[in-house]
Structure 1
């Protein structure tokens, strides 16, 4: 049990569910493989329970806590994290950083707002799922990965320059809203002088 506890608390990215719109259980199942800490906003609790997912922490205002106190027993050992003014994301990230989680998958956060998260990247690694894409930040100016043939989005402040280096060509992209590029199978390197995010379509089996 101690090894499981170590994985849950330290290594496996936590799972923060703010919205399930556009997602099915099958999209989340791979993220549950190693029993991550599961944190859920109050509006999504019933949906997540219906999927059979065990919740660890519920982000809830005082009214929800009072009206759903039975969840503490039904989902034991679930805990409430008190939230005011619907500050679910902020409260969740504060908790996860304080409990020394190294990473979190954020489900249902609008990708247009990922730039507001960048001050958190010093403390915790973030992957944002905004159906049907998942977004991850490139913090150190360069990212290299083997891609299959696909379409990816490069998400950065308007006017940012990102260099895309494939095996047979280099291209400079000036980012505008929803900049998608078509990628051929092979090793791809992306470079910029500031933080940018890469959006990949979530695979559907």
Structure 2
């Protein structure tokens, strides 16, 4: 795997590599090509280094006898960020790091699969960063992000779109979905919007008045 950094512009999304199921090399290569900053969580560093990827930031609590100094020579220059706070996951600490640096957006890979508890936490915890950081979590089958109150985007016909509430979400209305919503409520664990789809090619509109609503763009 070649290095990254075709661009060096903090307006491009950074890339965080977590330690879940690996994505395809094709997706990994596409994201590396346009990422100005690559952050790897310590639990994934050995896997990432084995792929020959150049890393900018190695971040974590460095527990389980992990020695970050082993990567200083092979990854030079690299920033080592020790983040010992046990009240947050390493992924959340990486989000905090980007906010402190003033970077507005990030793509996250290897954050789903393997441990189900980690997957659920990684997907739902992004809601706390509304207004602070634009976060997109990707794998080979889905792209997940937090919806703004008023969302509009062009999709091909029959694009699979799942609406996942985090808690309760009120006042949801849509246009150009197969199963339209008209001022409705979705609640995690009781009613969600799985496996909806764009009815025809064109703009899909989704608005919601209260709560945190994730959109999952899916493919089989």
Do these two structures clear the TM 0.5 threshold for a shared fold by scoring above it?
A: yes
**68-77 vs 21-30, greater mean Cα deviation:** 21-30
Q: How many residues align?
A: 197
Query: In 2, are the aligned partners of 1:142 and 1:192 still within 8 Å (CA)?
Result: yes
Deviations 1:2-61 (A, max 9, x none): xxx9x5352111111112405122122222222421111112112222333211111233
> Could you tell me which of 160, 177, 183 is aligned with 2:198?
183
Quick one: distance in 2 between partners of 1:104 and 1:19?
16
Q: How does 1:37-56 map to 2 (within 5 A)?
A: 37-56=37-56
Q: Residues of 2 paired with 1:127 and 1:83: CA distance?
A: 22
Q: Give, in angstroms, the shift of residue 145 of structure 1.
A: 1.2
- Give the aligned CA root-mean-square deviation in angstroms: 2.9
SS state at 1:117 partner:
helix
Structure 1 CA distance, aligned partners of 2:66 and 2:146? 38
Provide the rounded CA distance (Å) in 2 between the counterparts of 1:167 and 1:64. Answer: 48
Contact 1:25 1:51 in 2 (8 A): no
Q: In the aligned structure 1, how far is the partner of 2:179 from the partner of 2:35?
A: 42
Q: Is the 8 A contact 2:13 2:35 kept in 1?
A: no
Give TM-score scaled by structure 2 length.
0.75
Where do 1:12-161 residues align within 5 Å? 12-63=12-63, 67-84=67-84, 85=86, 87-107=89-109, 108=111, 110-111=119-120, 114-129=123-138, 132-139=141-148, 141-148=149-156, 149-157=158-166, 159-161=168-170
Equivalent residue, structure 1, for 2:176: 166
CA pair 58-132 structure 1, distance change in 2 beyond 3 A = same
Q: Distance in 1 between matches of 2:83 and 2:176?
A: 46
CA distance in structure 2 between the aligned counterparts of 1:68 and 1:168, rounded to whole angstroms:
50
**Residue 171 of structure 1: SS of its match in structure 2?**
coil
1:199 and 2:216 equivalent? Answer: yes
Moved over 6 A (4+): none
Alignment gaps of 5+ in structure 2: 113-118
Task: Give 5+ residue unaligned stretches, structure 1.
Answer: none
Shift of 1:198: 0.7
**Displacement of 1:182 after TM fit?**
2.4
Query: TM-score, length-normalised on structure 1?
Result: 0.80
